[in-house]
Amino acid sequence: MTYDKIFKYVQQKNFFTEHSKVLIAVSGGVDSMNLLHFLHAYQKQLGIEIAIAHINHKQRLQADEEEIYLKNWAQKQDLPFYCDTYKGEFSEKKARDFRYAFFKKVMLKYDYTALVTAHHADDQAETVFLRLLRGSRLRYLTGIKEVQPFACGQLIRPFLTFSKKDLPDIFHFEDVSNQEDSYLRNRIRNSYLPVLEQENPRLTQHLIELSVETEKLFRAFDELTQDLDIQDCQLFQKQSEAVQYFLLQRYLKDFPDLNISKAQFDDLLHVLRSKAYYYHHVKNGYYLKKDDKRFEITKIGLKTDGDDEPRVLEYDSMVKYGQFIFSFQKETASKEGIPLKSLSPILIRRRRPGDKIQLGSYSKKLRRLFIDDKILPAKRLEAVVLEQDGEIILVLLDDVTYLRKDFKDDIMKGRLYIQNRNW
């Protein structure tokens, strides 16, 4: 196949209508060399200026030769050439993170608004198959995206619908490590897919079609539910279990660095379906906050001493809140402090409507406790509430302490120490 067909597709998709400066990721392999030659040949028709970005991974004898060749080629064509050398212990993930961090830095420094990579249809099929093997959720079988936000612009993959065999066999450097079976992706490319294609020669195409259909499915779901206020607890709980399941997935898309496991996802879903009030650490500094009206996932930062916003007390740390200093330590034989049955983070906050505390075999609302103890309404506003694993464990006033009563056979793991700075 010639580049003309690819050019017509690129024009049809309007990949570069919003871009004038384009950075091309070039490794030296046949895929990226085809991408480089294609964009160089059609840069005037596309109205773009191109540049080369290359990483020398220092993993092969030819690595330096590739870098020199690309640098000389760029000079002959009067193109900018940006290069860096990978440092540190090598792994596929570390190398990938290094590459994209470098590409981002170049884009931001030199005002490139598009990064272009040479991923093709075979890469797409391998990615979908790899995710199937790893048990990824259906949403992630959408595979690699043709266009997605990146740095100050977009990451574009114009070859993604074309097979590798459709690309011309031009001069390139052969990466012999692609034939090694030490990496899962190599085993998929060299062994698993070829064997399965003996049963169905169209397997690669079917995997790509699965990716496309899955992407359309979730796009349709998002369009049909776009007017729903996902964080409205009553509205969320009115939906069927199936809709709730995918609504929560849709909400979590906004937190790409959260990376929760399937078990953690199921726990979040259970909380949203059942508990009225909840505050708990999820992962990576994120917390789920939920009352009877709304829920949200957020990061809690440090607050000043006089701030009445919630604070989080982690295990083996200390927090100041109002007139109190709280310290959360490992359980010891000491009789000082308050024993705790969990090492989960503790939320320190002011009282909320509906708060209740467990008192052995029954629970009681704080409002009723304060009324029974004849605590003045103005004084009740000063109450400090400590919550762990979604349950209130302690309520403090100046001279009154309400402590959750645990069952006698509970195993204590931590100890809470409280100091009143006014004493």
Residues 281, 328, single domain; the answer is no
Strand 153-156 versus strand 401-403 pairing type? unpaired
CB burial readout 247-264, b (16+ within 10 A) else e: bbbbbbeebeeeebeeee
**Of the given ranges (107-111, 134-138, 230-234, 315-319), which has the lowest mean pLDDT?**
315-319
- Report residue 408's pLDDT band, with 50, 70 and 90 as the boundaries: low
| Tens of pLDDT, residues 140-153 | 898 899 999 999 99
Residue 305 counted as domain residue:
no
pTM of the shown model: 0.67
**In this structure, which amino acid lies at residue 145?**
K
Residues 274, 335, single domain; the answer is no
- The mean pLDDT of 343-361, rounded to a whole number, is 89
Residues 143, 27, single domain; the answer is yes
Which residues make Cβ contacts (< 8 Å) with residue 306, sequence separation at least 6? none
Contact status, residue 52 vs residue 79, Cβ threshold 8 Å: yes
- Torsion over CA of 363, 365, 366 and 368, rounded to 10 degrees? -110
**Of the given ranges (74-88, 101-115, 211-225, 311-325), which has the lowest mean pLDDT?**
311-325
Residues 205, 231, single domain; the answer is no
Residues 148, 114, single domain; the answer is yes
**Of the given ranges (242-256, 259-273, 404-418), which has the lowest mean pLDDT?**
404-418
> What pLDDT shows up at residue 304?
43
Strand 346-350 versus strand 311-313 pairing type? antiparallel
Distances (CA, A) of 25 to 96, 102, 347: 12, 10, 46
- The mean pLDDT of 288-301, rounded to a whole number, is 81
| Tens of pLDDT, residues 105-116 | 999 999 999 999
Contact status, residue 292 vs residue 303, Cβ threshold 8 Å: no
Q: What tokens appear for 104 in the block?
A: 């981002």
Distances (CA, A) of 96 to 55, 71, 76, 90: 10, 21, 29, 10
Task: Give the H/E segment covering residue 287.
Answer: strand 286-290
Of 89 and 200, more confident: 200
Contact status, residue 406 vs residue 341, Cβ threshold 8 Å: yes
Give the separation between CA 411 and CA 269, rounded to whole angstroms.
Answer: 28
Q: What tokens appear for 151 in the block?
A: 């740095």
Residue 306 counted as domain residue:
no
Residues 26, 156, single domain; the answer is yes
- The mean pLDDT of 274-296, rounded to a whole number, is 81
- What is the domain count for the chain? 3
By residue range, what is the domain housing residue 269? 225-299
Residues 47, 19, single domain; the answer is yes
Closest to 295 measured CA to CA, from 266, 259, 269: 269
Q: Which of 299, 331, 354 is the last residue of a domain?
A: 299
Q: What tokens appear for 10 in the block?
A: 């690129």
Q: What tokens appear for 312 in the block?
A: 């989080």
Give the separation between CA 197 and CA 204, rounded to whole angstroms.
Answer: 8
Residue 218 counted as domain residue:
no
Q: What tokens appear for 310 in the block?
A: 């919630």
CB burial readout 92-131, b (16+ within 10 A) else e: eeeeeebbbebbbebbeeeebbbbbbbbbbbbbbbbbbbb
- Report residue 118's pLDDT band, with 50, 70 and 90 as the boundaries: very high
> What pLDDT shows up at residue 400?
81
Residues 53, 140, single domain; the answer is yes
Contact status, residue 16 vs residue 147, Cβ threshold 8 Å: no
Residues 152, 255, single domain; the answer is no
The values of phi and psi at residue 405, to 5°, are -100, 110
Identify the top-confidence range among 269-273, 305-309, 416-420: 269-273
**In this structure, which amino acid lies at residue 351?**
R
Give the separation between CA 264 and CA 249, rounded to whole angstroms.
Answer: 12
**CATH code: domain of residue 182:** 3.40.50.620
